[in-house]
Chains A and B, each alone.
Chain A
Amino acid sequence: MSESEVRVINGNYAAAEAVRLVDVDVIAAYPITPQTPVVEYLSEFIANGELDAEFIHVESEHSAISAVIGASATGVRVFTATASQGLALMHEVLFIASGMRLPIVMAVANRALSAPINIWCDHSDAMAQRDACWIQLYCESNQEILDTIIQAYRIAEHEDVLLPVMVCFDGFTLSHTLEPVEIPPKEKVQEFVGEFEPTHCRLDPEEPMTLGPVGGPDCYMEFKKMQDEAMKEAERVIGEVNREFADEFGRSYGNGLVEEYNTEDADYIVIAMGSVCGTVKHVIDEERPDVGLIRVKSYRPFPGEQIAEIIQDREGVVTIDRAHSYGAMPPLWTDVKAHAPDVEISSTIAGLGGRDIRPEDVLKAIEVAEKGKGTDEPVWINVNA
Chain B
Amino acid sequence: MGGRKPRLPIPEEELLAPGHRACAGCGSALCVRLCLKALGKNTIVVTSTGCIEVTTTPYPETAWKVPWIHVAFENAAAVASGVERALKALGKDDVTVAVFAGDGGTVDIGFQALSGMVERGHNVVYICYDNEAYMNTGVQRSGATPPYAATTTTPAGKVWRGEMRPKKDVPRIMVDHGVPYVATACVSFPQDLIKKVKKAKKVDGPAYVHVLCPCPPGWGYDSSETIEIGELAVETGMWVLYEVEDGEFRLTYRPKERKPVEEYLKRQKRFQHLTEDEIEEIQRMVDEQWEELEKLAEK
Contact = CB atoms under 8 A, between A and B. Distances in A.
B115 interface: yes
A70 B67 contact: no
Q: Which 6 A-B pairs have the closest CB atoms?
A: A70-B82, A59-B116, A74-B86, A67-B82, A213-B57, A63-B78
Interface in B70-115: 70-72, 74-75, 77-90, 95, 112-113, 115
A56 to B, nearest CB: 6
A26 interface: yes
A160 to B, nearest CB: 23
A209 B67 CA distance: 5
B80 A205 contact: no
Contacts of A66: 71-72, 75, 78-79, 82, 113
Nearest to B44: A203
A67, A204, A207, A211 pick with most chain B CB within 10 angstroms: A67
Contacts of B89: 25-26, 53-54, 71, 76
Contacts of A76: 86, 89-90
A57 B119 CA distance: 10
Interface in B33-68: 41-44, 46, 53-54, 57-60, 62, 64-68
A75 B112 CA distance: 26
Contacts of B41: 205
A212 B50 CA distance: 13
B58 A214 contact: yes
Contacts of B113: 59-60, 62-63, 66
B75 A208 contact: no
Given A73-B83, A208-B68, A213-B60, 16 more contacts: A54-B85, A58-B116, A59-B116, A59-B119, A63-B81, A67-B81, A70-B69, A73-B82, A74-B44, A76-B90, A92-B72, A93-B75, A205-B42, A209-B67, A210-B68, A214-B59
Interface centre among B53, B69, B112 (most CB of A within 10 A): B69
Interface residues on B, range: 35 or more
Contacts of A58: 78, 81, 116
Nearest to A24: B89
B71 A208 contact: no
Given A54-B88, A70-B71, A214 B82 contact: no
B82 A74 contact: yes
B90 A60 contact: no
A52 to B, nearest CB: 8
Interface in A76-101: 76, 78, 92-93, 96, 100
Contacts, number: 151
Contact of A70 (B46, B64, B95): B46
Contacts of A74: 44, 82-83, 86-87, 90
B120 interface: yes
B80 A211 contact: no
A25 B58 CA distance: 32
Contacts of A207: 67
Contacts of B115: 59
Interface in A36-73: 53-54, 56-60, 62-64, 66-73
Interface in B266-288: none
Contacts of B44: 74, 203, 205
Contact of A67 (B70, B74, B78): B78
Interface string A185-216: 00000000000000000011101111111111
Contacts of A320: none
B224 to A, nearest CB: 28
23 contacts: A28-B85, A56-B120, A59-B112, A62-B78, A63-B78, A63-B112, A63-B113, A69-B79, A70-B69, A70-B80, A70-B84, A71-B85, A74-B82, A205-B95, A208-B64, A210-B62, A211-B68, A211-B69, A212-B69, A213-B70, A214-B57, A216-B58, A219-B59
B72 A71 contact: no
A216 B113 CA distance: 28
Given A53-B89, A76-B90, A67 B79 contact: yes
Contacts of B95: 205
Contacts of A204: 67
A100 B44 CA distance: 17
A102 to B, nearest CB: 10
A205 B112 CA distance: 28
Contacts of B120: 56-57
Nearest to A220: B59
B69 A63 contact: no
Contacts of A100: 71
Contact of A203 (B69, B77, B88): B69
Nearest to A210: B62
Contacts of B78: 28, 58, 62-64, 66-67, 70
Nearest to B73: A92
Contacts of B84: 70
Interface string A104-137: 0000000000000000000000000000000000
A68 B82 contact: yes
Contacts of B81: 28, 56, 58, 63, 67, 70
Interface in A135-186: none
Interface string B213-250: 00000000000000000000000000000000000000
A101 B84 CA distance: 20
A210 B71 CA distance: 11
Contact of B54 (A59, A208, A211, A214): A214
A210 B86 contact: no
A63 B77 CA distance: 8
B75 A62 contact: yes
A54 B84 CA distance: 10
Contacts of A205: 41-44, 66-67, 95
Nearest to A57: B120
A9 B260 CA distance: 72
B82 A71 contact: yes
B90 A75 contact: yes
Contacts of A213: 57-60, 62, 70
Nearest to B87: A74
B110 to A, nearest CB: 10
A93 B54 CA distance: 18
Interface in B106-163: 112-113, 115-116, 119-120
